[in-house]
Structure 1
Amino acid sequence: MALLMSASFLANSPLAYGGLPVAAGAATASVVLCTAALALHWHGRDLWRRRVLWALASVLLLVGAAWELRSGQISPAWAAPAGLLLTEASLWARPGRRARVIGFGSVGAAAVVGLLARFGLVAPEMVVMTIVLVPTIATGVVCQVWHYQVAQELERARELAGDLAVAEERLRFAGELHDIQGGNLQAITLKAQVARRLVTVDPERAEAEMRAVEELARAALKDAREVVGGYRKVALADEIDSAARILESAGVQATVPDAPPSLDEDTEKLLGLLVREATTNLIRHAEPTAADVSIVEIDAQVTVTVTNNGAPSPTGGGNGLTMLKDRFTEAGGTVEHVHDGDRFTLKGTVPKAPQQAPVPPQRRAARPRRAVPVRRVVPKRARR
C-alpha cells in the first residue's frame, strides 16, 4: 500500500524524466528496508539489526525527498513511507508506550512538514497527507501486529490446555492403575520369594505358594482389563461435569445436561465411558469450537449423544471406539458415530435396568392397555 501510494504521487510530480527513477528507487528501497525491519521484529531478531535497516530507510527517504526538491516542491509521495518508519520506531518501545510514540511522532512529522511548507519547500497536499497517513499507517500496522500476536498466543494456550487435559487424564489413569495393581504385584512378589525359599525345604508349601501366585496373577489381569476397559466407577453427572471442565479449559463452548437422570450403576458406567471417550477424542484429534452433550430417555432406553465441530477427515475407528462398541453390545445397547463434514457425532444407546417394585398382596387385575412411548429430554446448560 505504501509503494502504491508513493508511486501514485510520484507519477504526478514535476520531476524530470531522468529524476523520476531516482526518486522512485529511493522510495522503493526505503519501504523494502523498513518492511525487512518489521519482519525482523516479527521473528524476534536483534534490535540493532532493525535499527540499522531503519536508519538506512530513513536516509533513503531523505535522499529521495531532497532529489525531488531539486525539481520544485516535495510531493505527498513520502508520507506513506514515513508512516512505515514511524511504525518500526514505535515497535522499539514496550507495548504500553507504543501509542505514545505514535502520537509524538505524528505530531513531530506534521510540525516539520508544516514548517517546510511555510518556506514553500513542501506542497500543501503533503501537509494534509502527513497528518492523515502517518498516524493511520502506524496505528494500523501496530494494531495488526498486536492482534495477530494475541491470536497466536490464544492458539498456543488452547493447544496447551488440550495437552494438559490429556495429561491430566493420563495421570488419573496411571494413578488408578497404580492403586489397583500395586497391591497385587507386591503380593505376587512376596509369595514368589517365599516359594523360591521353600522349593528345597518344603516343596508342598512352595507349590501352594505358587498356586496363590497364579491366582493373584489372574486377579491382577482381571483388574487390569477392568481398568483399561472402564477406568473407575463414577456417576454420569461426574463424568459430564468433568467433560465440561476439560472442554472449558481447552476453549470449547460446551452445552451439557443440567441434571442428568439417576440410573443404575452399570448404565451410568457405560454412558460415562461414552462421554469420557468422546471428550478424549475431541481434545486429542479435533480442533473444535463447540460441543454438545444431550441425554434422551425413550421408554426403557437412554441415549447419550455427543456432537462437536472441527473434526478432521475420518481415518477409521480407533481402539477406544471398538472397545466401547463391545461393551455396549454386551449390555444390549448400540454405539453409532457419524462424520458429516467437520461435525462428528457419537451416540450411545443402552437399556435401563428394570426396576422391581413391590406388588400389593391383593390387587384386582387391570385391563391391559396399549403402551405409549414416553420421551423425556434432559434440559441443558451452556458452559463456556
Structure 2
Amino acid sequence: MSNKSTPVPAGSAAVAERGSLRLARGVSATWWYTVAALLFFELGIVLATLLVVASSPAQPPVAIAGVGLGGLAWVAATVALLIDYRHRTDSAPLVRWRRQLLPLLLSLAYGVTAGAVCGLWIVGALPLLQSLMLLNWQSGVRVRALLAATGLLVALAVIDANATDVGTAASGWGLLVSFSVILPAMTVASLWWWDVLARLDRARASESRLAATQERLRVATDVHDLQGHHLQVVALQLELAERLMTKDTDAALEQLRAARASVAEAQQGTRDLALRFRSVPLRDEIANAVDLLRAAGTAAEARVDEDADRAPASVLGPVIRETTTNVLRHGGGHWARLSLVRQAESWRYEISNDAASDTSASDDGSGLDGISRRTAEVGGSVEVQRGKNEFTVVVSVPAVADAVADVTDPGEQR
C-alpha cells in the first residue's frame, strides 16, 4: 500500500471532517465542561445504583463490586462515544459500527447485569438508552428519540415502584430515578449546545478565511495594477530608446532617463503599498498592549481618543510596542495605564506604571533612547517622569508626523 497522500476534492467529506476536527479545538474548553457534567451525572447514577444494591441484605459483596465495576466500564464506554461525537460531521452515518459497537455492547451488558442484580427495569434500560443518545442523530430525530427514551424511563420507574419494595432504599431510589429520567434530556441539551458552538466556530473560521482571501486578492490587484502599469511604461520607453539609439542619441538617452524615473516611481509605490499593509491601527496597538500586560498579571487600562486612527501610526506604533516591553521588563508588575489623546496640533501618548523596588532612579529602560531619537526625527518630544512609586513616559508628536517619517525614514532612502 502506498503511503502517499491522495489529493481530495475541496468539497469532499474527508475535507469537511478534517475541518471539523481543526475548528473544534478553538472551543475545546466548552467541550470538556460538557463531558465533565455528563460524567458527573452518570457517576451519580452508578452511586445510586450501588446504594440500592447495598440496601438489599440478600446481595453478596461480589454482586455489589460487580455493579460498581460495571458502572465504571459503562462510564468509560460513554466517554468513547462522546469523543467520537466531538469529531462527527453532518454527513456521517448514525452508527459507526467499527468504533461504536463495543461501547454499545458494554452499555447493554452493564444494563442487563445491573438490572438483574437490582431487579429494576429502569437500571437495565438506562445505560443503553444513554449510549444511544450519544449517536449521530439528526436534530429532529434526536428530539423524538429523547421523548421516547424519557417516556420509557418514566414508565419503567412507575413499574419498578409498583412491583418492588423500595422503602428500605428510599434515598438511593429517589436519586436513581431523578438522575435517570433527567440524564437523556441533559445529554441532548448539552450536545445541542456543543453543536451550536461548533457551528459558530466553523462559521468564524470560514469568515476569517474569506477575509484573508479577499485581502490577498486586494493585495494582488494593487500589486498588479501598480507594477503592471509601470513595467508596461518602462518596456515602451526602453523599446523607444532602442529604436532611437542609432538615429538620435540624445532622444534615446532621454527615454532611458525617463525609464529610470519610472522604475524609481515603481519602487516608491511598492514601498508605500508595503507600508500601508504593514501598518496596524493605533487603537489595535494599544488593545494588544493592554492584553499583553494583563496576560503578564498586570492590571492594565487604556484611554484612547475616538480619532486615534488618524494619529501617526508609523511613529507611535513602535513607541507603544517599545514602552510596553519596558513596562514588562522594568515595571513593578501590579498596574499600568495607557492613553492616547489629541492635543491641538499634536498627539500625546502616555504610559504609567508602578516602579519596581529594585530599579535604580537612573534606569530609564533600554528602549527610551531609541524612542527619543525616533520622535525627535519627526519634531516630537519625550518626557520621562519618575516618582517614588510611579514611572511615566509621555510622548508628543505632531499630527503630520507620518508624512515627515516617510521623508526622513533612512530605510526608504536607497
The TM-score normalised by the length of structure 1 is 0.56
Q: Indicate if the aligned counterparts of 2:381 and 2:397 stay in contact, CA closer than 8 A.
A: yes
Q: Where does the alignment leave 5 or more consecutive residues of structure 2 unmatched?
A: 1-39, 286-301, 321-337, 352-370, 384-393, 401-414
Taking a change above 3 Å as real, the CA distance of residues 183 and 75 of structure 1, as seen in their structure-2 partners, is: closer
Counterpart residue number, 1:93: 137
- Per-residue deviation at 1:190? 1.1
1:120-152: CA deviation from partner (whole Å, max 9, x where unpaired)? 387775764454112322233333333344344
Q: Out of 160, 164, 181, which is 1:120 matched to?
A: 164
User: RMSD of the TM alignment (CA)?
Assistant: 4.9
Q: Indicate if the aligned counterparts of 2:73 and 2:106 stay in contact, CA closer than 8 A.
A: yes
- Per-residue deviation at 1:300? 3.6
Which SS does the other structure have where 1:296 is aligned? strand
Counterpart residue number, 1:134: 180
- Per-residue deviation at 1:188? 0.1
- Per-residue deviation at 1:187? 0.6
Which SS does the other structure have where 1:19 is aligned? helix
Counterpart residue number, 1:331: 378
- Per-residue deviation at 1:25? 3.8
Which SS does the other structure have where 2:347 is aligned? strand
Give the distance between the partners of 1:195 and 1:17, measured in 2 at CA: 104
Q: Where does the alignment leave 5 or more consecutive residues of structure 1 unmatched?
A: 232-238, 244-253, 262-266, 279-292, 307-323, 337-346, 354-384
Q: Out of 56, 59, 63, which is 2:105 matched to?
A: 56
Which SS does the other structure have where 1:302 is aligned? strand
Give the distance between the partners of 2:54 and 2:381, measured in 1 at CA: 74
Do residues 36 (structure 1) and 80 (structure 2) align?
A: yes
- Per-residue deviation at 1:56? 1.0
Q: Out of 40, 64, 71, which is 1:27 matched to?
A: 71
Which SS does the other structure have where 2:60 is aligned? coil
- Per-residue deviation at 1:334? 6.6
Counterpart residue number, 2:312: 270
Q: Indicate if the aligned counterparts of 1:333 and 1:351 stay in contact, CA closer than 8 A.
A: yes
Counterpart residue number, 1:301: 346
Q: Indicate if the aligned counterparts of 2:77 and 2:106 stay in contact, CA closer than 8 A.
A: yes
Give the distance between the partners of 1:325 and 1:149, measured in 2 at CA: 53
Q: Indicate if the aligned counterparts of 1:297 and 1:303 stay in contact, CA closer than 8 A.
A: yes
Identity rate, percent: 24
Letter in 2 for 1:48: R
> How many residues were matched structurally?
289
Taking a change above 3 Å as real, the CA distance of residues 23 and 130 of structure 1, as seen in their structure-2 partners, is: closer
Matches within 5 A, 1:158-197: 158-197=204-243
- Per-residue deviation at 1:271? 5.0
Q: Indicate if the aligned counterparts of 1:335 and 1:348 stay in contact, CA closer than 8 A.
A: yes
Taking a change above 3 Å as real, the CA distance of residues 173 and 60 of structure 1, as seen in their structure-2 partners, is: same
Taking a change above 3 Å as real, the CA distance of residues 56 and 161 of structure 1, as seen in their structure-2 partners, is: same
- Per-residue deviation at 1:109? 1.6
- Per-residue deviation at 1:168? 4.4
1:95-138: CA deviation from partner (whole Å, max 9, x where unpaired)? 34534432321121221232244333877757644541123222
Counterpart residue number, 1:206: 252
The TM-score normalised by the length of structure 2 is 0.53
Matches within 5 A, 1:176-255: 176-200=222-246, 202-230=248-276
Counterpart residue number, 2:148: 104
Which SS does the other structure have where 2:61 is aligned? coil
Give the distance between the partners of 1:59 and 1:141, measured in 2 at CA: 18
Give the distance between the partners of 1:96 and 1:112, measured in 2 at CA: 25
Stretch of structure 1 that moved more, 1-10 or 132-141: 1-10
Letter in 2 for 1:270: P
Give the distance between the partners of 1:96 and 1:296, measured in 2 at CA: 55
Taking a change above 3 Å as real, the CA distance of residues 268 and 164 of structure 1, as seen in their structure-2 partners, is: same
- Per-residue deviation at 1:68? 0.9
1:16-75: CA deviation from partner (whole Å, max 9, x where unpaired)? 134334433433333332332232222227523266245413431343135415xxx449
Which SS does the other structure have where 1:93 is aligned? coil
Counterpart residue number, 2:31: none
Letter in 1 for 2:163: F
Taking a change above 3 Å as real, the CA distance of residues 75 and 19 of structure 1, as seen in their structure-2 partners, is: farther
Give the distance between the partners of 1:169 and 1:273, measured in 2 at CA: 25
Taking a change above 3 Å as real, the CA distance of residues 142 and 272 of structure 1, as seen in their structure-2 partners, is: farther
